[in-house]
Amino acid sequence: MRQIRRLLIANRGEIALRIIRTCRSLGIETVLAASEADLDSVPTRLADRTICIGPPPPARSYLDIEGVVAAALETRVDAVHPGYGFLSENAAFAERCRHAGLVFIGPDVAQLRAVGDKLEARRQAVAAGLPVVPGGAVASHADAEALGREIGTPLLVKAVAGGGGRGMKRVRSPEVLAETLDLAMSEAKAAFGDSRVFLERFIDAGRHVEVQLLGDGEAVIHLGDRDCSVQRRYQKLIEEAPAPSLSDGLRARVHAAAVTFGRHLRYRGLGTVEFLVDSAGGKFYFLEMNARIQVEHPVTEMITGLDLVAEQIAVAEGRPLRLGQGDIAWRGHAVECRINAEDAHQDFRPSPGTITTAVFPAGAGIRVDSHIEAHARVPPFYDSLLAKLITHRPTRTEALAAMQGALANCRISGVISNTALLGDIVADADFVRGGVDTAWLGGWLTKAGKHATQG
Binding site for another protein (CB under 8 A): 56-57, 166, 182-183, 185-187, 189-191, 195, 341-343, 345-346, 349-354, 356, 377, 379-384, 413-416, 453
Q: What is the DSSP string of 85-134?
A: STTTT-HHHHHHHHHTT-EESSS-HHHHHHHHSHHHHHHHHHHTT--B-S
Catalytic site residue 292? yes
CA-to-CA separations, 337 to 148, 274, 418, in angstroms, rounded? 35, 19, 10
Structural contact between residues 49 and 35, judged by C-beta atoms closer than 8 angstroms: no
CA-to-CA separations, 126 to 56, 116, 120, 129, 131, in angstroms, rounded? 41, 16, 10, 5, 7
Strands 6-9 and 29-34: parallel
Shortest distance in whole angstroms from residue 382 CB to another protein: 7
Residue number with CB closer to another protein (107 or 162): 162
Q: What is the DSSP string of 201-265?
A: EPPTT-EEEEEEEEEESS-EEEEEEEEEEEEETTEEEEEEESPSS--HHHHHHHHHHHHHHHHHH
The arrangement of strands across the sheet holding 155-159 comes to: 135-138, 197-201, 155-159, 169-171
Residue number with CB closer to another protein (68 or 378): 378
Shortest distance in whole angstroms from residue 359 CB to another protein: 14
**Local structure of 77: helix, strand or coil:** coil
Residue number with CB closer to another protein (76 or 345): 345
C-alpha to C-alpha distance for 226 and 206, rounded to whole angstroms: 14
C-alpha to C-alpha distance for 127 and 122, rounded to whole angstroms: 9
Residue number with CB closer to another protein (82 or 414): 414
Shortest distance in whole angstroms from residue 200 CB to another protein: 20
Which residue of the set 12, 96, 251, 292 is catalytic? 292
Measured in degrees and rounded to the nearest 5, phi and psi for residue 113 equal: -65, -45
Residues in the chain, how many? 455
Shortest distance in whole angstroms from residue 182 CB to another protein: 5
**Local structure of 72: helix, strand or coil:** helix
Shortest distance in whole angstroms from residue 33 CB to another protein: 19
> What does the angle CA 437 – CA 201 – CA 88 come to, to the nearest 5 degrees?
75
Residue number with CB closer to another protein (174 or 352): 352
Structural contact between residues 93 and 87, judged by C-beta atoms closer than 8 angstroms: yes
> Residues of 107-128 as b/e, b for ≥16 C-beta within 10 angstroms?
bbbebbbbbbbbbebbebbeee
Q: What is the DSSP string of 191-208?
A: HHS---EEEEEPPTT-EE
Shortest distance in whole angstroms from residue 85 CB to another protein: 9
> Residues of 69-78 as b/e, b for ≥16 C-beta within 10 angstroms?
bebbeebebb
Residue number with CB closer to another protein (91 or 191): 191
Residue number with CB closer to another protein (234 or 330): 234
Shortest distance in whole angstroms from residue 413 CB to another protein: 5
Shortest distance in whole angstroms from residue 345 CB to another protein: 6
Residue number with CB closer to another protein (84 or 286): 84
Structural contact between residues 160 and 118, judged by C-beta atoms closer than 8 angstroms: yes
Question: Is the dihedral angle over the CA atoms 346, 194, 97, 301 positive or is it negative?
Answer: positive
Residue number with CB closer to another protein (47 or 185): 185
Shortest distance in whole angstroms from residue 438 CB to another protein: 19
C-alpha to C-alpha distance for 359 and 151, rounded to whole angstroms: 49
Q: Report the catalytic residues.
A: 292
